[in-house]
Structure 1
Amino acid sequence: MENFHGTTIIAVCRDNKTVVAGDGQVTLGSAVVKHGARKVRRIYKNKIVVGFAGATADALTLSEKLEAKLEAFGGNLTRAAVELARDWRTDRMLRRLEAMMIAASDESIYLLSGTGDIIEPDSGVIAIGSGSVAAQAAGEALFRHTEKSAREIAEGAMEIASGLCVYTNSQFTIEEIG
């Protein structure tokens, strides 16, 4: 069986608003098998938004693990992200998960990966997935050279990524907090 490919997730934080947007396309080999997948969702009392790229079951497992860490640390995203990354690197089962995640609150954005990376962007923009380079570049340009809102930047960046990446469609899920 061929591997599932692609997705694009972008997070933008500006003016005390954080937006996470993702496309809905799922492909199997060269065929699109789903157009409206939901790869962005709210967790932990609707205070945290996560977006994921990679194997769906793995991403959902990570989302559940992050929510458990948030519960354990009273909603502190930084602490929960660090603890999840530590577990992800050291736990034999978690180490095999093939996914990346963006986790965002109204104050911060983190990219989490299975290699133990916890990256907080220098600017208010970060992207993951197959269309991440296009989304990141478009998001950075809009962030730096316009006064657009976080939502407008995320939507614009996703539109550009969906026009360039064959694994990214234009059926977006967008969640805003803050």
Structure 2
Amino acid sequence: MREGEVWHGTTILGVLRDGQVAVAGDGQVTAGDVVLKRHARKIRALAGGQVLAGFAGAVADALTLFEKFEQHLRACDGDLRRAAVELAKEWRADRYLRRLEAQLLVADPRQLLMISGDGDVIEPDDGIAAIGTGGPYAAAAARALLRHTRMSAAEIARAAMEVAADLCVYTNHAVTLLTAPPEREADEHVDDIDRSP
């Protein structure tokens, strides 16, 4: 790793369908063009499993934002939207936080939000949101599956992440998937089979 190079985590996907939200993340962490880790965990369940959060970007920065978001979530009594707005306001206003290079995707069974350091809190129109390098691939695959199948949110998230891993060199097949409300088969599943060539 070259001096000044930042560790990055990439590709987080959220899918809302039929009162369930699934958030999936790949396991790859890179520094420049070097893979440092293949089985990193980039998503968490918060608020007793009612809120899911994932990050893309510089790992240390994202962990700082996770902590800040959790603080706001507690202060807002679990209100996801209020916590997201409060984090975005603090992130934009605080001189230290403004330098953080990461994005967060947060969700509960009713809403899915993307939060950026520009003070943006974005709710997608169709219940599909993705961040990170492989995000556009994962989102495109998930939208097609949402429109043309009856797959569950968890099934769509897993299948779309597989597509993203096939296309994006910064995304791998070691997928962690969480759902809210929890689904025994989907929760905390990590696919340890690396299918990359």
Aligned residue among 84, 87, 105 for 1:84: 87
Structure 2 CA distance for aligned equivalents of residues 42 and 24 of structure 1: 16
Aligned residue among 134, 138, 141 for 2:137: 134
Q: Which has the higher contact order (CA 8 A, sep 6+)?
A: 1
Structure 2 CA distance for aligned equivalents of residues 73 and 23 of structure 1: 30
Residues 44 and 53 of structure 2 are in contact (CA less than 8 Å); yes or no, is this contact kept in structure 1?
A: yes
Q: Which residue of 1 aligns with 2:15?
A: 12
Matches within 5 A, 1:84-163: 84-163=87-166
Residues 67-102 of structure 1 show CA distances to partners (whole Å, capped at 9, x for unaligned) of 111111110001111111000100111111110000
SS at match of 1:92: coil
Q: Which residue of 2 aligns with 1:31?
A: 34
| AA partner of residue 124 (structure 1) | G
Q: Which runs of 4+ in 1 moved over 4 A?
A: none
Q: 1:6, CA displacement in angstroms?
A: 4.8
TM-score (norm 1): 0.97
Q: 1:43, CA displacement in angstroms?
A: 1.6
State the Cα RMSD in Å.
1.0
1:72 counterpart = 2:88:
no
Structure 2 CA distance for aligned equivalents of residues 3 and 68 of structure 1: 25
TM-score (norm 2): 0.88
